[in-house]
């Protein structure tokens, strides 16, 4: 009798897991021509992604495609992009699927679609700006998207990448208990939302900016568990793929970052190709581009794109990133 009960319980639990599997967006058939037109990118499967462009003053020296972080959207680049205009850099940012003004707000798009959309953007930008250097910048989750994209088969050529506090702490950074809890939660009640309130985590020293994000309806403040599960998978893939990057790299990290732990960042930094430029900001937090010292970071990025120089003087001469005291 007990064996029958155990079997019935196993069948019931299996059915529950299948019925409540994590929700991931599905792409439609790719049967139309992609198009970058003004304020939107039309993908081959018909999805429309909102786009913002900050054109350089005069003939651009480079084009920077900007990929936002988790729960954020293209507006995260507004301040640096407005400054980069005067430095001869055109910035193009877009809302990734499930974020900002894109459809299916709050639903995880999946790694494949994130990479596919970035590849579409690169091809369209290359067509609109022939002969211009194209760089990718990814903040946090956007950094994970950039890493996995440029190391994937068939990704179009770019001239370099900038990783700002890249999210690279995946499953390998979670202890077995937390791994089990997240997997179980994502497969039993995937639509339950988390707020992060009460964790005591600070993303930036720019408090007024953080308050504005709290009032911004396009910034996701209640996150589905299956989106967290999807993010961890993406970060895990980025952690593993970083060693395969074969492009000029500028990696930026803040010593006060409370979201991306230093250990996986140390590991990724050690595996980047020779010549990678790694910058540590002692006064930097997770949102480096929007911190109070943001303009220092903006200039470092602009100068690195144009001359490979780091005017702040914060470039790391040798690893490890953090010296033992």
Q: Which residue has the tokens 């990448």?
A: 161
Cβ neighbours around 113 below 10 Å, total = 20
Q: 3-state SS of the chain: helix, strand, coil percent to 5?
A: 40, 15, 45
- Tokens 């009798």 belong to residue: 1
pLDDT of residue 7: 36
**Residue 9 confidence (pLDDT):** 38
Q: If DSSP codes are grouped into helix, strand and coil, which group holds residue 210?
A: helix
Backbone angles phi, psi at 188, to 5 degrees: -125, -40
Helix (H) or strand (E) holding 189: none
Highest mean pLDDT range out of 106-110, 182-186, 261-265?
106-110
Q: Decide if pLDDT at 261 tops 50.
A: yes
Would the pLDDT of 10 be above 80?
A: no
The 10s digit of each residue's pLDDT in 98-117 is: 999 999 999 999 999 999 99
Residues forming beta bridges with residue 136, ordered by sequence position: 65, 161
Q: Which domains does the chain have, with CATH numbers?
A: 34-307 (3.40.50.1820)
pLDDT above 50: residue 63: yes
Residue 324's pLDDT band (boundaries 50, 70, 90)?
A: low
H helix or E strand, kind and range, residue 269:
helix 262-271
pLDDT at 260 over 80: yes
Report d(CA 37, CA 56) in Å as an integer.
17
Which range (105-114, 189-198, 236-245) has the least confidence? 189-198
Using omega within 30 degrees of 0 as the cis cutoff, is the peptide bond preceding 262 cis? Answer: no
């Amino acid at each position: 009798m007990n064996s029958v009960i155990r079997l019935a319980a196993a069948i019931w639990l299996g059915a529950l897991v299948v019925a409540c599997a994590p929700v991931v967006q599905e792409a439609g058939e790719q049967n139309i021509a992609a198009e970058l037109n003004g304020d939107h990118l039309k993908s081959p499967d018909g999805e429309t992604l909102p786009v913002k462009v900050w054109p350089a003053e005069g003939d651009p020296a480079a084009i920077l495609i900007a990929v936002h972080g988790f729960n954020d959207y293209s507006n995260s680049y507004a301040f640096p992009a407005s400054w980069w205009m005067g430095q001869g850099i055109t910035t193009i940012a877009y809302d990734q699927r499930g974020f900002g003004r894109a459809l299916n707000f709050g639903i995880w798009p999946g790694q494949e679609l994130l990479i596919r959309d970035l590849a579409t953007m690169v091809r369209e930008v290359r067509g609109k700006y022939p002969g211009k250097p194209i760089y990718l910048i990814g903040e946090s989750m956007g950094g994970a998207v950039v890493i996995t994209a440029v190391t994937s088969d068939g990704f179009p050529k770019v001239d370099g990448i900038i990783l700002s506090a890249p999210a690279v702490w995946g499953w390998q950074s979670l202890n077995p208990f937390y791994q089990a809890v997240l997997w179980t939660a994502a497969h039993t009640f995937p639509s339950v939302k988390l707020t992060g309130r009460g964790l005591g985590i600070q993303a930036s020293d720019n408090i007024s900016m953080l308050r504005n994000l709290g009032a911004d309806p396009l910034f996701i403040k209640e996150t589905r568990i299956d989106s967290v599960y999807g993010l961890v998978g993406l970060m895990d893939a980025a952690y593993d793929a970083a060693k395969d990057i074969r492009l000029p790299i500028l990696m930026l990290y803040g010593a006060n970052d409370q979201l991306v732990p230093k250990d996986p960042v140390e590991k990724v930094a050690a595996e980047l190709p020779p010549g990678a430029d790694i910058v540590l900001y002692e006064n930097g937090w997770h949102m480096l581009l929007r911190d109070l010292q943001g303009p220092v970071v903006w200039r470092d990025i602009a100068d690195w794109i144009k001359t490979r120089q780091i005017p702040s003087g914060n470039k790391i001469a040798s690893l490890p990133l953090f010296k033992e005291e």
